[in-house]
Structure 1
Amino acid sequence: MQEFKNWKPPVLPKEIEQADVPGSKVVITEYHIDRAGRIFPDLLEEIEKVKSKNGNGKVVVSVSGCSGVGKSGIAAVLSYYLNDIGIGSYILGGDNYPRRIPEYNDAERLHIFREGGLKGLVKDGEYNKERFQTVHKLQEEGNDADPENIKKYPWYKSYINGGRNALKEYLGTGNELAFKEVEDVVDQFKSGAEKIWLKRMGRSNTQIWYDDVDFKDVGVLLIEWTHGNSDCFNGVDIPILIHNTPAETLKYRLLRNRDCGIDSPFTTMVLDIEQESLINQAHKAKIIITPSGDRLSYEEYCKYIGM
């Protein structure tokens, strides 16, 4: 793409197209614009590499990172830049593809953690009725995922470890997410389908439907999703990882204030597990961006996070 070698970011209009997840619209900030501007020239180079190999001009890009890292805004700006230079782009929001609506999925996560915690106590020979009453009280207070409880109750480590291990078997896996459906969309896109039925999922059980989307002039399918670089589905040509620490992510989520219990010990545990998964998959990323906006190779990234 020699013609875009001297590309300069255009001024954005007040409203730009965002991911197709109902109710997930974000305010585009200077942070999103800056990160997208840093990524875009490298993305164009990667797109050219893919197009030279596949021959059909269809490229799948994912923007992944911890919940609240700014994926939605960055993906929206990248998509705008692509469309602005004549490369048709569509943003698919991965948050349309959980197996349960957010309320039910949050409940399932908590159930899995708590059941796993109790099983951990039983497995380690630490369970009795008195200890269950302690756990039950902490559950009712919404504080049972706090590892600080171990200081007062050393046996509580079995509950925390059992719950965390059970949660790791659920989060970001096919048990939680409909990866096959996303992969089917990718396959249709790459095969040149002009129209594809795409799922929409809002925040209630009456907000699930499908739209027939026109892909005739779309050259880049941009998947905006925490799990966009997952091993659970295939077809992504250019994975982009936006790195952030769980603490920084939590700060952003608090500002966004979309969900209850954002700063709870349980949410902190979920973010930690998400981060572990993202780090384990980072070797596949073509572009890795740090919180300061620097691009790192995978080797540099490993040093950056102390691996």
Structure 2
Amino acid sequence: MNTVYGKISPMNAITADMTSTLGGKDIQIPSDIPHGDMPGDKIEIGESHIAKAKTIFPRLLEELTKVTAANPYGRAVITVCGGSGVGKSEIASLLSYMLEESGIGSYTMSGDNYPHRIPMYNDAERLHTFRQCAIRGMVDGGAMNAENLKKVQEWQEQGDDANAEHAKENPWFSSYLEAGKKGLSEYLGTPAETDFAEVDSILAAFKDGADKLWLKRMGRDECTLWYDEVDMSKKQVLIIEWTHGNTDCMKEVDIPILLNSTPQETLEHRRSRARDGKVDSPFTMMVLELEQNKLMAQAHKAKIIVSKQGEIISYDDYKKLMGI
């Protein structure tokens, strides 16, 4: 798939003069703009998203001058990545709109279309992976017996078996937690969970001048899975909005943009969105922690890092902010 295609005529690279002119342009943002291509996806653009996008845009244009000059077709691939609640979909959509309004064709692609499983099955696989590895960890740690297993099964039924608090009164439980967490980390954001090879092949074809691309659409049930042939003949930039947009599993990304949020900021955001201020389950919190760890490990590759407050920061400042 996406190996046979027609090719566009080379586009003009984005120049420094264009960057100077477009970077200072005040682009008005309407209430409804195009967004990513995941079925059923909804975005809510606020003033903070617009402010961030307008901060990023001039810097992005500078990066695009280098990348488009180096590509034979004048094209570039951007990713907007970050943890839960940082506004990836909104910022990616805004940047794409601003590029289009500046005469630079842009398409926004959602990386969440490319896991191997639909969301409900992937969530189940995450939990299964955690529990299978955790139970094996109990065996390896010498903690497997009828009494301990009964406790674990009770916590599993309650959806509370990723809760580290249990280890305070049950030290043996650490073997369950540590092994489960390790196994889950080896699944999350890896080729076992997501078809990064397919995504990279799409990006490679785009940069090779493909005039059309077959792009995957994956909703929330078995019946919402298909491919659309998308006209890319007038698109110079492909933007992917995705938690895993800065992964080492992809080689064709030119400009990763990291929208940062500290663990505390993420927690506060999720609490503010939850009913009655309730927190997520221990398992969900573990997933978020592991995703944050992966984002931190990949952050050195980001071309642009943006703080939660909307400031562009250096990698050194990022490390100080994250305590690494």
TM-score of the superposition, structure 1-length normalised?
A: 0.95
Contact residue 62 and residue 236 of structure 1 kept, 8 A: yes
Secondary structure at 1:223 match in 2: strand
Secondary structure at 1:268 match in 2: helix
Q: Which amino acid aligns with 1:2?
A: D
1:9/1:145 CA distance change after superposition, 3 Å? farther
Q: Which amino acid aligns with 2:151?
A: T
Moved more, 242-251 or 95-104: 242-251
Q: How far off is 1:262 after superposition?
A: 7.0
Distance across 1 between alignment mates of 2:267 and 2:34:
26
Distance across 1 between alignment mates of 2:35 and 2:273:
16
Contact residue 71 and residue 207 of structure 2 kept, 8 A: no
What CA RMSD, in Å, does the superposition of the two structures yield over aligned residues?
1.6
Distance across 1 between alignment mates of 2:320 and 2:210:
42
Moved more, 246-255 or 98-107: 246-255
Contact residue 79 and residue 256 of structure 2 kept, 8 A: yes
- Is 1:40 aligned to residue 40 of structure 2? no
How many equivalent residue pairs?
Answer: 305
Q: Which amino acid aligns with 1:191?
A: D
Which whole-Å deviations, capped at 9, do the CAs of 1:107-133 have from their partners, x for residues lacking one?
000011111111111111111111000
Counterpart for residue 3 of structure 1: 18
1:250/1:26 CA distance change after superposition, 3 Å? farther
Distance across 1 between alignment mates of 2:295 and 2:147:
39
Matches within 5 A, 1:85-96: 85-96=102-113
Distance across 1 between alignment mates of 2:101 and 2:274:
32
- Is 1:60 aligned to residue 77 of structure 2? yes
Q: Which amino acid aligns with 1:27?
A: E
Q: 2:135 aligns with which of 113, 118, 121?
A: 118
1:200/1:251 CA distance change after superposition, 3 Å? farther
- Is 1:50 aligned to residue 67 of structure 2? yes
Gaps spanning 5+ residues in structure 1: where?
none
Distance across 2 between alignment mates of 1:193 and 1:244:
35
Q: Which amino acid aligns with 2:17?
A: Q
Distance across 1 between alignment mates of 2:222 and 2:260:
32
Moved more, 114-123 or 167-176: 114-123
Q: 1:84 aligns with which of 86, 101, 111?
A: 101
Q: 1:267 aligns with which of 276, 281, 284?
A: 284
Seq. identity, %: 51
Counterpart for residue 295 of structure 1: 312
Q: Which amino acid aligns with 1:266?
A: F
Counterpart for residue 143 of structure 1: 160
Matches within 5 A, 1:105-184: 105-184=122-201
Secondary structure at 2:162 match in 1: coil
1:134/1:227 CA distance change after superposition, 3 Å? same
Gaps spanning 5+ residues in structure 2: where?
1-15
Distance across 1 between alignment mates of 2:26 and 2:134:
50
TM-score of the superposition, structure 2-length normalised?
A: 0.91
1:47/1:164 CA distance change after superposition, 3 Å? same
